[in-house]
Structure formats: structure tokens, C-alpha cells
Amino acid sequence: MMNHFPTEKYIDLENNPYLLGRITIHHVKEDYHAEVDIINKESHKIFRHVAIIYHQYSAEEALISGVQQLRKFLEEIENNKSSL
């Protein structure tokens, strides 16, 4: 699947046409790490750093963990908005 590192995967955010989710996968020794950010769609500048997930066994596992972390973060934002 992924052979060149770091590699980036982009995720469209349903409610925001100006931002993207970005999962950057790093291969460090035997492990894979996922850096999770929300970025500006045009400039690719970081809007919000979400998390770094360390010590995954494969690039695919790191990507899945990154997507789950991004989803969890976005759900928390939505839940906080609705409770205001």
C-alpha cells in the first residue's frame, strides 16, 4: 500500500469546505507513527494539531488509528457545539 515515507492521506471534512483532515504516516525503525492534523485546504497550513499516535505495527494500522483519532476529535467538537 504505502512504500514511501512520510506519506500523507487527506480526508474531506463534511461540514467545512475550507479544511481537510491530514494523516501523515512516518516509518521509524520497525514502527509506524501517525500525525493527525486539520489543515487549510488551499495553503495546507496546519489549522489544528490533533494528535500523534506512536508504535503502530504497520502503515495501514497507523492510518486506521489516525482516522479514528480524527473522527473522535471531530465528534467531540460537534458534541461541545450542541451543548452550548
Domain boundaries, the chain: 7-82
Helix (H) or strand (E) holding 60: helix 59-82
Quote the CA–CA distance of 40 and 65 in Å, as a whole number: 22
Alpha carbon of 9 to those of 36, 40, 65, 72: distances in Å?
A: 10, 14, 13, 17
Tell me the whole-structure pTM to 2 decimals. Answer: 0.89
Q: What pLDDT, in 10s, does the model give residues 6-51?
A: 999 999 998 899 999 999 999 999 999 999 999 999 999 999 999 9
**Quick check: 49 and 41 in contact, CB under 8 A?**
no
